[in-house]
Amino acid sequence: MLDIFLQTMPFFALIAVGYGAGKTGFFPEEATAYLTKFVFYFALSAMLFHFSANLSLAEIFDPRLAAGYLLGTGVVYGIAMTVAFMRGMDVPTAAFEGQVAAIGNTGFLGVPMLAMLMGQDAVGPIILVLAIDLVVFSSLIVILVVGSREGRMSLRLFRILAVGLLKNPMIVSIVLGFVVSATEVPIPGPANDFLSILGAAATPGALFAIGASLASKSAERMTIAGWLSFCKLVLHPAAVALGVYVIFPAPLYDAGVVVAAASLPVAGNVFMLAQHYKVAPQRVSAAILISTTLSIVTVSFVISLVLV
C-alpha cells in the first residue's frame, strides 16, 4: 500500500496546492470558477474525446461490468436515501444524500489519476463509470427533485433531462469520440497533437481546481457529512466490489478499475446541483471536504487491494 500511497501523493499534493491558493485568497473563488470552466469545457473534454476516439464501444461497454457497477451504486444510493427518510427528510434532501453517498469525482479526479496509476487499459472502464454516473444518476437526481416538487412526471421534466445531457461537454466529447472511432478515420497528426496538448492540461488543472474549490467549502453538519463520507469511501467500493466480482463477475483487471473508481471522494458537481436546487448545500459541501481529505488514505488502500 505504501507504494500506491506514494504514487497518489503527487495528485493529492496538487489538490493541496490549490487548497492553499484558495484559502489564502491568492486564487479567489472567481478564478476557481473560470479554471473549472476551462477544465470542464476544454481540457477534460479534449482528453475524453481523445480517449474515446481511440477506443471502440466494445472496449468500453461490458454488460457485466455495467450491471455490477449499477447494482452496487444503486444499493448504496438506496441505503443513504432510506437512512435520510428514517430521519424525517423529504424526497429532494434524501435524493441528494443518496447522490453524495454514491457519486464520485470520476471526471476531475478519476479520469486523470486512475489512468496514470492503473495504466491506459483502465481508460475504458473509467469512461464506462463516468457515462453511467452522468446519464443514469445525474438524470435520477433531477427526476427525484423536480418530480417530487411538481408532484408528477411531465414533458417539461424530460425536456430538462434531455437538455442537461446535450449540454454536458463530457457526454458530448465521449459520444463524438465514439463516432470518430466507429468511422475508423484516423485523426490527422496536427489535430491529434492539439488534443494531446490540450488534454494534458486536464490533470493539473482539474486537481488544482478541486483544491481551490475545497477552500470555500464549509464544515457544517459534520455528523451527517461523516456518515455520507463513510458511504462514499467505504460502502460504495464494497458494494461495487460485490457487484463486479461476485454477482456479475467481470474480468479481474476491469473489475478492479471500477472498484477503484467507486472509492473516489464525493463529486464536486453534486454541490453545484445542491446550490441550484437549494437542497442541503451545507451537508454536501462538508461531505466533499471530509471525503476528499480522507480519500488520500482510502483511495490508496483500495487501489492496493484491487491491484494485488
> Which range is least confidently modeled, 157-161, 262-266, 283-287, 290-294?
157-161
The pTM score is 0.89
In DSSP terms, which residues pair with 104 in a beta bridge? 266
Q: Which CATH class is domain 2-306?
A: mainly alpha
Can you give the pLDDT at residue 55?
A: 81
Query: Taking residues 132-138, what's their average pLDDT?
Result: 91
Give pLDDT tens digits for 179-229. Answer: 888 887 788 888 889 999 999 998 899 899 999 988 887 666 688 999 999
DSSP, res 95? H
DSSP, res 221? S
Q: What is the crossing angle of helices 44-53 and 169-183, to 10°?
A: 30
Residues contacting residue 28 through CB under 8 Å, at least 6 positions apart: 22
Q: In the chain, what are the domain boundaries?
A: 2-306
